Structure 1
Amino acid sequence: MKRILISVFCTVLFISNGFSQALEEKQRLKYEAEMEQKKKEYITDFVATLKVDDFQKEIIVQSMESYFEEYQKINMLSLRDFERKAYVQKLDDTHFSDLKAIVSEENMEEIMDAVKGKWDPKEAKKKKKKRKKKN
């Protein structure tokens, strides 16, 4: 009788543990999908504010997406803070070198601000409304 109770208890314990892991996996996947959607919205909103042609916009979008992927890989390496900063600085210096050739210096500064998180979409909307009111 004791063996049966112990085996039932262990079985219930392992099954519930399996369900909780499956639930955590679903939540993690949902969170990743949500973050991917927010990243795409951020990039498209930012690129819409730039004064460049469609070809340049597409290149900027691709460059920013690849930058964020590389940045995520650096963060997943679990490096020390100073090592991570060095890798990020190297990424900043080298990643957008091709883009610098086709985009103006002002737009390049805006892109770097957006990549660093200094671009505020609300502020951009306010500026756009001000321009429309002036015209």
Structure 2
Amino acid sequence: MSAEVQMSAEVRVDTHAHIWGPAMPFWSRAWKRPDYAYTVETYLDTLDASGVDFAVIAAASLFGTYNDYVIRALRQHRRLRGTVIVDPEIGMYDLEACAATGWWGCVCSFSTPTCRISLPTAIIACSTGCATWTCMSM
């Protein structure tokens, strides 16, 4: 599918998918460790075969705060948007750098009793390009 998609009366969007490569670093507390890859290329082939125009890649918690695979996919494929997983201590400038890559949301997690990102930081992050903000404890 070309980078330019003609808008029609019906636009199909997959709103939650995970991709991963063959040698990605697993988070030390990952509850599952797939021994196969599901690459962005495989995923795009699936989208095309299913007639899906756009998609949101959700960073998989199995890989902790390793977001490189999502960010590379977003940079290479304009039809994709994504979320990243961040450490609760992340600062405003790091959030802005993530937002510049095309992510639309982030999750802060990893055994924190509460999300420690301050509300002003979250508001700044969202004003720089993210559409969602979720804090959760694992």
Q: TM-score, normalised by structure 2?
A: 0.26
Greater helix share, structure number: 1
Q: TM-score, normalised by structure 1?
A: 0.26
Could you say which structure has the larger radius of gyration? 1
Greater strand share, structure number: 2
